Amino acid sequence: MKKLLLITLFFRFFCSAYTHPIPDIPILGSFNSDGNSSIIIEIDPRSFAEDPESIPFITANAFKDFPDSNKSELLLKAQEMIRDAFDLRFGETSWFLPDFDLNFTEKDAGDLSEDNIVVIQGRHDTFLESNSTFYQIRAKEEAPYDLIFTNQIDGKPQRRVNVLFPGEESFKLDLGFIGTRPEPEAVKPSVIQPAKTISKEEQAEQRRADARSTFFSFTRQGFVHVLPLGLDHILFVLGLFFLSRKWKPIIYQVSVFTIAHTITLGLATLDLVAAPSHVVEPIIAASIAVVAIENIFFPGYRHVRLLVVFFFGLIHGLGFAGALSAFDLDPTSLVIGLLGFNVGVEFGQLAVIALVFGATFWLTEEKAYRKWVVVPGSSVIALMGIYWTLERVFF
């Protein structure tokens, strides 16, 4: 009985600690040529839970029944999360964190209504002098989640986007377009400084530089969402690898899996399909158990396996979709980010396969490999998948 309890506690701790991470925290800088500016941060209340992806979004309908004490507690937690997340600066000044006005709003910042997702929005409005040469943020070492640094100028989303891990600084957003602020006694309108003339070649090069920065930023995020954060994705890829070490079965399965999750990742990111996390996450867990059990009882590759892999790949793509769908990006940035994120995921998958192959290649005899690697490895993966499925369905 004691052993069973210890095993249960182990799986509960290990599995709940490494589910798909909550969508990262977007920080939007909105700047106008006249100096009026806002910094807006959005927090999903699920972020405060130990296992955010295991619980559903808070809907407006459910939010109506929340007592005031619960609402106040959520706002307090949001304030603490913002304090621990980042600092900012305007020009070569000291880093600081301004005060944010926190309110509940629906996800798309409209009016609260039934079935809309409720989030906490923090807003800081300010007026910037023309000597504020740039805007920049940095993620603190203790930041609980990654930060998505996005900006818009005069209402136009900017193409360059940064994904910041704890301890990193964003690029410097040039604020040279902001005009001078009039003196209090002046009655004439504000004078807007003329923008620096930039040639078409310089503009094209800047767009390419922004695209490269956004692509590599999301590529890194996609890789990290697999290795080390995506334990369920890692286990599924291991389940594919354990079926056979021959290159053709590995290439067939990984290719089909890639195509499948790319389809749903793209469709979900573009808001063309949607599925609730409390449905997606148990199926992802079940997929891990299915491929692992098949490795044990049905050894050897068969083409029908590809149908199973394709179906579960579609579901895994929905599990990744939250990484991009939460942000109102410039259309070009969205496509570049989607491509970069997917490339990062593929590199993460290949890294998992390479690591396992490197650790087991010395077992050249297939019977020994199956006895000491495939069966015990698949057994552990199956147990974790089954436990994870039960936990996500019933708890």
296-312 pLDDT, tens digit each: 998 888 889 999 999 99
Distance CA 320, CA 342 (A): 9
Residues in the chain, total: 395
- Give the pLDDT score at 229: 75
pLDDT at residue 9 greater than cutoff 50 = no
Helices 304-320 & 231-243 angle (0-180, nearest 10) = 170
SS3 of residue 21 by DSSP? coil
* 60 vs 152 pLDDT, higher one: 152
pLDDT at residue 281 greater than cutoff 50 = yes
How does pLDDT run across 143-156, given as a tens digit for each residue? Answer: 878 899 999 999 88
The domain limits of the chain are 15-199, 230-394
CA dihedral angle for residue 156, residue 162, residue 164, residue 170, rounded to 10 degrees: -80
- Give the pLDDT score at 90: 94
Angle at 69 between CA 65 and CA 75, to 5 degrees: 100
- Give the pLDDT score at 1: 46
Helix, strand, coil percent values for the chain (each to nearest 5): 55, 15, 30
Over residues 37-49, mean pLDDT: 90
What percent of the chain is predicted at pLDDT more than 90?
38
The answer, as to whether pTM is greater than 0.85, is no
* 18 vs 363 pLDDT, higher one: 363
Element (H, E) at 22: none
* Tokens 């210890």 sit on residue: 6
Distance CA 94, CA 24 (A): 26
Q: Are 180 and 25 in contact (CB under 8 A)?
A: no
Over residues 281-300, mean pLDDT: 91
pLDDT-derived band at 8 (thresholds 50, 70, 90) equals: very low
Mean pLDDT taken over the chain:
82
Distance CA 36, CA 41 (A): 17
Given CA atoms 371, 372, 378, 380 in this order, what sign does their dihedral have?
positive
pLDDT at residue 202 greater than cutoff 70 = yes
The letter for the amino acid at 94 is S
Burial profile 260-282: b = 16 or more Cβ within 10 angstroms, e = fewer: bbbebbbbbbeeeeebebeebbb
Tell how strand 118-127 and strand 25-31 pair up.
unpaired
Over residues 332-345, mean pLDDT: 86
Please, what's the largest Cα pairwise distance for the chain?
A: 88
Tell how strand 162-164 and strand 134-139 pair up.
unpaired
